[in-house]
Structure 1
Amino acid sequence: MEETALRRERKICSALGLMLLAVLLCSVVWSFLMSGLYYMTNGAIPYVLYLALTLVGHYALSLPLAFRMVRRVPRVEPARRPVEPLALVRWIVIGLSLTWVGALVGVVVNQLIYLATGRVSSNDLDQIIDMMPVGLVVLCVSVIAPVCEEIVFRYLLAGRLARYGQASAAFISALLFAAFHGNFSQFFLAFAAGLLLAYAYFRTGRLLVPILIHMAVNFSNSGVALLLPPSDTAYALYGFVSLVITVAGIALLICGRRDIRWDSGWRKPTLRAVFLNPGMVLIFAACFAEFAMTAFLY
């Protein structure tokens, strides 16, 4: 890649990295402000409302800012193709399988970290969700978050990285999606899900498809467990169904691997262009700091 073209590509990727950094900073600042407001008012804000606003309220600030920051970066519109209902169901099953396997890997990694540091493992996100009413979990975790995250990571990010080819765009956006979660519990499942969601977006050319897959996966992983009656039988049945879906998803993925198709781009991605620029360095540094704080301080 000639030097002039390299500078142009680095500038484009830096803008995308800075966009994600702005979204992350909005989340951190918003959480800080909400915590301060809650304690300054001595809990006058209902705790459930406080949790809900903390989880998703920052998107009202970050989404308009994200659109503005990358408005000059050209998108590659994927070809619009018909959406077959069976394909959507297949992607959902594969998505559930990938996230459950990824979650298991995340648990193992987390346990190793806690064993190495001599601390007791915890999952703050699960604790927050357990304190919220089911309806609020469905609204925040299974509706609002998937819509906003798909806009950021598939429409704004992957759609602009597709200049390097859809496969490269899916990998880079999935890596950033996973890093953005800021903890090992969700890193592996988010990376696997990010690849699938990007593929569904590129294959159909419709943002609604990955949104629906994301909603279904989040609801299955969070909402369904809360709806179960508190009995060993219900939990055992849920575990059995999860195992069956996991095996089915892996089988579908293996059987359909030869049908996976990615459109090529007009630029070849290089390490210097995509990652060695101010925006990407800053967002990865911020995510690394979040990982370190989550893994070793909490």
Structure 2
Amino acid sequence: MNSNKKFFSKIGFNYLIYAICTIIIPLILFYILGNTELTNNYNFKLIISSICNYILPLPILIFLMKKLDSENIEKESLSIKTLLLYFCISYSLMIIGNIIGLAITALIGNAIQSDIANPIQNLINSTDMILNLVIISIIAPIFEEIIFRKLLIDRTIKYGAKISIILSATMFGLMHGNLNQFFYAFLLGGFFAFVYMKTGKLIYTIILHISLNLIGSVLSLFVVESLNAVTQGAYTTFDISIILVYLLFLIIATLIGLYGLIKYKKLDLTKIKAKIELENPLKTAFINPGMICYIGFTLLLIIYSTLLM
């Protein structure tokens, strides 16, 4: 195995260790705490989940990744107009990914004659809105951008922009551990990777990520509540207003985003020059022991989530 394959293999094993930690740490904590009313509470589970997914394993991943050489990405600021355009592109990618995910899970659900649960949506619907706001909409995006953009791209950018984007998108999508989220996480992960490489500033991807999570975890609750009121015939003018404003926002943001995707179908990353040219970049990056183990482990999580939950 050549040095480049070894490099990507180390990355794969590093993220495999991180993924395993996010499963083992909560199991240990819940074993210590025991089966109580508190440990069965969704709000408590969300708090423990955030601690075990981000706060506790991150120092381990940082320690492992610091052993690999990193590159400094040239800094570039975005205008408010461009940032808004990037938000609309991100939103349209989220919609496209959601549609693909829903369609595929529906097909699989019909094939196995069982509904496929959406773990994150169940969690959002069952937990306190303030916790959704703080953990899902703020804490998670910050940590995920550090893990799947900063730590990963700073070390793979020397092989070129394309392989860094594909790697970031794939590993980010797989790490979500369920089929419902994989497709939009893959698309968003790739676009966030592009934004980070273009600007060299993590703050922009964090802003985009937080904005989308706010829509999905907080705004969506108000919309669903208003839709339920309408279907039950107990709605008010406020409920109708929320639904109409959301639909208008959805249409405008999606149309602008699709326009942006068409206009920028060839992403401008000309300033990102590969310092190391690979003859078979995808094969080198993915067909190695570490990455195969990471992909295999996360695919098992997705299969478990899809078929057994």
Query: TM-score w.r.t. structure 1 length?
Result: 0.91
Q: Which deviates further from its counterpart, 119-128 or 205-214?
A: 119-128
Q: Does 1:267 align with 2:261?
A: no
Q: Does 1:43 align with 2:37?
A: yes
- Deviation of 1:237 after TM superposition, in Å, equals 3.9
CA distance in 2, matches of 1:146, 1:165: 25
CA distance in 2, matches of 1:46, 1:290: 22
Equivalent residue number for residue 250 of structure 1: 258
Q: Does 1:196 align with 2:191?
A: yes
Q: Does 1:183 align with 2:194?
A: no
Instruction: Write the letter of the residue equivalent to 2:189.
Output: G
Equivalent residue number for residue 54 of structure 1: 48
CA distance in 2, matches of 1:18, 1:188: 23
- Deviation of 1:162 after TM superposition, in Å, equals 0.7
Q: Does 1:109 align with 2:118?
A: no
Equivalent residue number for residue 276 of structure 1: 287
**CA spacing shift, 1:131–1:264, aligned 2, 3 Å:** same
Matching of residues 81-92 of structure 1 within 5 Å: 81-92=76-87
Partner deviation per Cα, 1:211-243 (whole Å, 9 max, x = no partner)? 111111111122111244534323354234213
Instruction: Write the letter of the residue equivalent to 2:48.
Output: T
**Is residue 43–residue 127 contact of structure 2 (8 Å, CA) maintained in 1?**
no
Q: Does 1:32 align with 2:27?
A: yes
Equivalent residue number for residue 3 of structure 1: none
CA distance in 2, matches of 1:121, 1:257: 33
**CA spacing shift, 1:107–1:35, aligned 2, 3 Å:** farther
- Deviation of 1:286 after TM superposition, in Å, equals 0.3
**Is residue 30–residue 57 contact of structure 1 (8 Å, CA) maintained in 2?**
no
Match of 1:238 among 246, 267, 280: 246
**CA spacing shift, 1:100–1:272, aligned 2, 3 Å:** closer
**Is residue 18–residue 283 contact of structure 1 (8 Å, CA) maintained in 2?**
yes
Equivalent residue number for residue 18 of structure 2: 23
**Is residue 81–residue 205 contact of structure 1 (8 Å, CA) maintained in 2?**
yes
- Deviation of 1:72 after TM superposition, in Å, equals 2.0
Instruction: Write the letter of the residue equivalent to 2:257.
Output: G
Partner deviation per Cα, 1:45-97 (whole Å, 9 max, x = no partner)? 58254222233112122110011111121112111012211111111111011
Aligned residues: 292
Q: Which deviates further from its counterpart, 41-50 or 263-272?
A: 41-50
Partner deviation per Cα, 1:142-166 (whole Å, 9 max, x = no partner)? 1111111111110111221111111
Equivalent residue number for residue 301 of structure 2: 290
CA distance in 2, matches of 1:291, 1:259: 30
Instruction: Write the letter of the residue equivalent to 2:275.
Output: W
For the aligned residue pairs, the C-alpha RMSD in angstroms reads: 1.9
Partner deviation per Cα, 1:147-202 (whole Å, 9 max, x = no partner)? 11111110111221111111220111111111111222111101110111011111
In structure 1, stretches of 5+ residues that fail to align are 1-5
Q: Which deviates further from its counterpart, 97-106 or 260-269?
A: 260-269
Share of identical aligned residues, percent? 24
Q: Which deviates further from its counterpart, 54-63 or 262-271?
A: 262-271
CA distance in 1, matches of 2:116, 2:303: 15
Matching of residues 58-77 of structure 1 within 5 Å: 58=52, 59-77=54-72
CA distance in 2, matches of 1:174, 1:249: 19
In structure 2, stretches of 5+ residues that fail to align are 231-239
